[in-house]
Amino acid sequence: MKLSRLSLLMLIGILVQPVMNGALAEEPALDLSEILAGDWRSEEERARDEFRNPQETLAFFGLEPGATVVEIWPGRGWYTKILAPYVNQTGGTYYSANFDPNSDRSFVAAALKNFKETFIDQPEIYGAVNNTVFPALEGETIAPAGSADLVVTFRNVHNMVPGGYAEKALTDMYVALKPGGVLGVVDHRLPKSIAQDDEVSSGYLHEDDTIKLIESVGFVFEAASDVNNNPKDTADHPFGVWTLPPTLRSAPRGEDPNPDFDQSSYIAIGESDRFTLRFRKPAQ
């Protein structure tokens, strides 16, 4: 049987990666080139690789073949289109910790319908997508307790903090991880020179405060990467981080777009300056 280049790479990765108490290796041999070129990704999605740096980000988090991965609030699934095929092709398990279907928020039903049609209904690409509720409902978990090698959350903590459930949400992640498992966090960075308001109205967070928050539920901060840094971003835009691509908001939230608002300088900045953090659940 002739193996594809991707299959050969995965086999090599499985053979050479060290095992660390069931946790992910520190520096796995990760090649996502064929996944990133997959025809299930649109040209618009590929164009954002420049700012989201999925290859480097997931390597830093320690993604490896056969991992059990939990993605927090996948949204439209930009990262799901990378994570789920990789996990599927390497014999791992993927969980989408998604919105509560009983929520009364107007966008939830449409978002879950789109996620089902795009991912759950296409197992030939994405494998078995295990959809759970985040934050976990009473008596439930986002994945079986102690099962996950890696939990990832992309630009979500800035919603958890003003929502008042950050500690609960982070504890859910902690419970899902194996001892020694990794939590990977990406979010918009607020410069120390700018005060943080309680509502996180700009969408930006102080990196140091975020680290302390995550450590408070038991995680150990391990490392930070500059892979998603953007020094062009000053984080002081009129409509918060959403003034920048990809949202390009031109008026306050809830108002009609302003056709006279000059977006050229924000397009030139690109997507936001982001911190990229790796935490570990202590081995027991």
SS3 assignment for 166-187: HHHHHHHHHHHEEEEEEEEEEE
In a domain, residue 92? The reply is yes
Whether 72 and 155 have beta carbons less than 8 Å apart is answered as no
Q: How confident is the model at residue 236 (pLDDT cuts 50, 70, 90)?
A: very high
Q: What are phi and psi of 56, to 5 degrees?
A: -70, -40
Of 170, 177, 272, the closest CA to residue 229 belongs to: 272
Asked if pLDDT for residue 26 goes beyond 80, the answer is: no
The 3-class secondary structure across 74-129, one letter per residue, is CCCCCCHHHHHHHHHHCCCEEEEEECCCCCCCCCHHHHHHHHHHHHHCCHHHHCCE
In a domain, 249, yes or no: no
Q: What is the pLDDT of residues 178-219, one digit of tens each?
A: 999 999 999 999 999 999 999 999 999 999 999 999 999 999
List, for residues 117-134, the tens digit of each pLDDT value.
Answer: 999 999 999 999 999 999
**In this prediction, what percent of the chain has a pLDDT beyond 70?**
90
How many angstroms separate the CA atoms of 279 and 256, rounded?
40
Domain-embedded: residue 255: no
pLDDT of residue 174 exceeding 70, the answer is yes
Reduce the DSSP state of residue 36 to 3 states and report it. Answer: helix
Please, which residues have CB within 8 angstroms of residue 188's CB and are 6 or more apart in sequence?
A: 155, 158, 203, 204, 205, 235, 241, 272, 273, 274
The number of distinct structural domains making up the chain is: 1
What tens digit of pLDDT does each residue of 243-279 get? 999 999 999 999 999 999 999 999 999 999 999 999 9
pLDDT digits (tens, 9 = 90+) for 38-82: 999 999 999 999 999 999 999 999 999 999 999 999 999 999 999
What b/e string do you get for 102-111 counting C-beta neighbours within 10 Å, with b at 16 or more? eeeeeeeeeb
Nearest to 230 by CA among 199, 258, 260, 191: 191
Q: How confident is the model at residue 29 (pLDDT cuts 50, 70, 90)?
A: low
What per-residue confidence (pLDDT) applies to 5? Answer: 44
266: in domain? no
CB atoms within 10 A of CB 260: 6
- Nearest partner of 14 among 29, 31, 2, judged by Cα: 29
* Residues of the domain holding 104: 5-232+271-280
- Is residue 253 in some structural domain? no
CATH number of the domain residue 39 falls in: 3.40.50.150
| Average pLDDT taken over every residue of the chain | 92
Q: Does residue 264 lie in a domain region?
A: no
Whether the upstream peptide bond of residue 135 has omega within 30° of 0, thus cis, is: yes
Residue 252 belongs to a domain: no
Per-residue pLDDT at 284: 76
Q: Is residue 262 part of a domain?
A: no
Describe the crossing of helices 54-61 and 80-89 by its angle, rounded to 10 degrees: 60
